[in-house]
């Protein structure tokens, strides 16, 4: 699957957001003392929303921008 530049930007942004969500969920879990419950109640919905939103954006950008060369 070839991704254009805008799709790559969305993909990199999604990865960054997921990392920040992971850090925030672990930090808040350590503050409140119940790491498992707090982590799962924060990270899972945030990660699902991020992934689903970014997938929708990537699909909508499929026909725009310049595509990167195929490395096959």
The number of beta carbons lying within 10 Å of the beta carbon of residue 1 is 6
Which parts of 1-72 fold into alpha helices (H)?
5-32, 35-60
Domain count, the chain: 1
Identify the domain containing residue 28 by its residue range.
5-60
pLDDT at 26: 92
9 burial level (CB within 10 Å; 0-12, 13-18, 19+): middle
- Please state, in angstroms and rounded to a whole number, the distance separating the CA atoms of residues 72 and 70: 6
Is 52 inside a domain boundary? yes
Whether residue 71 is contained in a domain is answered as no
Q: Is residue 21 part of a domain?
A: yes
Domain-embedded: residue 35: yes
Categorize the per-residue pLDDT at 72 as very low, low, confident or very high, splitting at 50, 70 and 90: low
Using one digit for the tens of pLDDT, what is the confidence trace for 38-60? 889 999 999 999 999 999 999 99
């Amino acid at each position: 699957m070839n991704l254009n530049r805008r799709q790559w930007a969305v993909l990199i942004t999604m990865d960054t957001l997921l990392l920040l969500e992971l850090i925030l969920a672990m930090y808040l879990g350590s503050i409140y003392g119940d790491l498992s419950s707090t982590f799962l109640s924060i990270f899972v919905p945030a990660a699902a929303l991020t992934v689903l939103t970014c997938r929708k954006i990537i699909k909508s950008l499929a026909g725009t921008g310049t595509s990167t060369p195929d490395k096959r």
